[in-house]
Structure 1
Amino acid sequence: MGAAQDKLVDGLYGLGWAGVKKLPEPAAVALGHRIADYVWKRRGKSVLRLESNLARVVPDATPEALRELSRAGMRSYMRYWMESFRLPTMDPKRFGTDVEMKDDHILREALATGRGVVVALPHLANWDLAGAWATGHIGVPLTTVAERLKPESLYDRFVAYRESLGMEVLPHSGGAAFGTLARRLRSGGLVCLVADRDLSASGVEVDFFGSTARMPAGPALLAQQTGAVLLPATLYYGDTPKLFGRIHPEVAVPKNGTRVEKTAVMTQALADVFAEGIAEHPEDWHMLQRLWLDDLEERAQ
């Protein structure tokens, strides 16, 4: 990406942050639908990839049903962006009314132990809003990791945005994130990680909807090395303005096995919970990139 394109991309995101948050909420929702439908009708690479991914989640769907599902998926994805642009100006009191988290007592009780908590979740619905709910409603500082985006100024916008919601944001690259996360957990802190895609060499292979994918080892390794509680979480929108979610029971560290074996078992357990949540609400899974290994192999050929 050249300097001119970097500047254009950053300018467009800046326009979104500056403009969308000033719109009345119904107008922002309507704008999101129009943009989503326009992108969906163009049938670009992202839309086709979303449909391909959803075909694995709903293998019995007809081509017509799959297209409608991808349309709903693009609307859900754009809703994420419209909400995210508006989050910094939202009254924190709304986090308690606009987010309905089932079994949140599991999270509260885990935090009360002082062991530290790792919440791992997939790209479902609005994970930023869920993070804002944790910091604003539960009142717990939260640390997360963000991939460095290009241009750098765009990454800086994302960091500033999440920090404005009470989150500590660490860069994914550079190698220091894991140590900082471990220190936060040993202090009894809360770490939230989006954990349904990792194409690096350190990714753990899991069975996911009947095929092999890679997911990050980080959540399982952090739980093993710090004694933190590892909790999966899933989110969805539904037919209301609310964000819904569920905190699932702890994924415990196995008593036997090597570190690699324990990590594989724990990451597969996360993948199984993620698959359950995605299957229930596939339209809210914002996976517009290649995920399964055989899809990556096709691209390499």
Structure 2
Amino acid sequence: MSPRLDSHSLAMARSVSRDLRLGGHWRWGQRLKNGAIRLCVIGLLGLADRLPERLLYSVCRAVGRLVYWTAPSLVRRARERVGLALPDAEVSRVVRECFLNAGTTLATSLLLRRPNVKASALVAIDAPARELLAGAGGAVVVSAHLGPFELVAPAVAELGLPTAIVVRESYDPALDAHVDAHRRARGVTVIHRGDPGAGARIVRALRSGQLVGVLPDLPARVESARVDFLGTPSEMPIGPARIALAAGVPLLAACLAPLGDGRRFRLEVSRIDPAGLSATTLTQRVANALSRAILLAPAWWLWMAAKGPGDLEKKRSAR
């Protein structure tokens, strides 16, 4: 084993030992630091709840603009990834706008914490999309971090359809209740993917007729399949495909498309038939559906969080 690989492995081992989600533990210093972060997060959420809507959007877009100007590594990553997917003439505009739109997405997600805000007022779901969702019975619904993605599940739940989402739990378990409160208040079942028995809960939810939403478009520390995504080699979690095949349920792609003002969106829904497909092939079909949705509104995707082919090769060389 090379020294470089050994140091990488040691760093990963130290990270795992400190990750409560992986059975690790915090030292006293970490407990103090994370306790302070928790209080700050709770305080900022409380402040956001009290800001007038227009001011909330202005502040969050200002945060997006600030990150664009002060986080060059994120801008470089976004520029590299956009450059692989779009013509050169569009790169600068899309990169700049994706940071601003990330601020808008944050503001919209924070608005969902307010009981008087209806997701259906922000998301239009036309009759064909409703028919696909309502006629599926239990189904795995894949979406993307495209626009204010937190709107999708509550908007579907407001149609009277039983809805669940699979999310990664917070690094700090004490934050989960605060992060999940608005989801549960809107009738959305929350399944933390790292919890014991999460897989069984997902299958039970599907077989009981729930629509179970997942976001497989960004890298995750789970088993993945190699796919072509946004025109480049990438990895995408294979779990959604395996679950759909194991439970014998359809797979739907449901992504937001922005309307004129950037505050309202339309939910585009399509069916991906899993019959006769392997989990790997089905995952590629998912990647194709999400790629199409993202390329229709590229400035609304989180390019700064994506990984490119270089990251994939580094990951493989470290194995």
Q: Same fold (TM over 0.5)?
A: yes
Aligned counterpart, 1:23 = 51
The AA in structure 1 aligned to 2:88 is: A
Aligned counterpart, 2:41 = 13
CA deviations on 1:242-269 (whole Å, 9 max, x unpaired) are 1222011x211233xxxxx611111111
CA deviations on 1:198-250 (whole Å, 9 max, x unpaired) are 444621111113322111222212221222121011213344121222011x2
CA contact (8 A) 1:95 1:133 kept: yes
Does 1:89 pair with 2:105? no
Give the whole-Å Cα distance in 1 for the aligned partners of 2:136 and 2:238. Answer: 24
Structure 2 counterpart SS, 1:89: coil
Does 1:185 pair with 2:209? no
Match of 1:122 among 140, 144, 165: 144
Aligned counterpart, 2:283 = 267
Identity of aligned residues (%): 20
CA contact (8 A) 1:199 1:214 kept: no
Aligned counterpart, 1:108 = 131
Deviation, 1:276, is 0.9
Give the 3 Å change call, closer, same or farther, for CA 106–222 of structure 1 in structure 2: farther
RMSD between aligned residues? 2.3
Give the whole-Å Cα distance in 1 for the aligned partners of 2:215 and 2:251. Answer: 13
Give 5+ residue unaligned stretches, structure 1.
256-260
The AA in structure 1 aligned to 2:124 is: E
After superposition, where does 1:1-301 map in structure 2 within 5 Å? Answer: 2-58=30-86, 60-62=87-89, 65-91=90-116, 94-102=118-126, 105-112=128-135, 114=137, 116-136=138-158, 138-200=159-221, 202-240=223-261, 241-248=263-270, 250-255=271-276, 262-298=278-314
Give the 3 Å change call, closer, same or farther, for CA 142–286 of structure 1 in structure 2: same
Give 5+ residue unaligned stretches, structure 2.
1-17, 19-29
Structure 1 counterpart SS, 2:212: strand
Give the 3 Å change call, closer, same or farther, for CA 18–31 of structure 1 in structure 2: same
Q: TM-score, normalised by structure 1?
A: 0.86
The AA in structure 2 aligned to 1:48 is: R
Q: 166-175 or 32-41: which moved more? A: 166-175
Give the whole-Å Cα distance in 1 for the aligned partners of 2:93 and 2:136. Answer: 45
Give the whole-Å Cα distance in 2 for the aligned partners of 1:157 and 1:242. Answer: 25
The AA in structure 2 aligned to 1:95 is: A
CA deviations on 1:143-192 (whole Å, 9 max, x unpaired) are 11111222222233212232122211111114521211111111111111
The AA in structure 2 aligned to 1:105 is: P
The AA in structure 2 aligned to 1:237 is: P
How many residue pairs match? The answer is 288
The AA in structure 2 aligned to 1:233 is: A
Give the 3 Å change call, closer, same or farther, for CA 244–113 of structure 1 in structure 2: closer
CA contact (8 A) 1:214 1:292 kept: no
The AA in structure 1 aligned to 2:61 is: H
CA deviations on 1:124-144 (whole Å, 9 max, x unpaired) are 1112111110112x1123111
Structure 2 counterpart SS, 1:139: coil
Deviation, 1:16, is 3.0
CA deviations on 1:40-61 (whole Å, 9 max, x unpaired) are 1113433332232222221x22
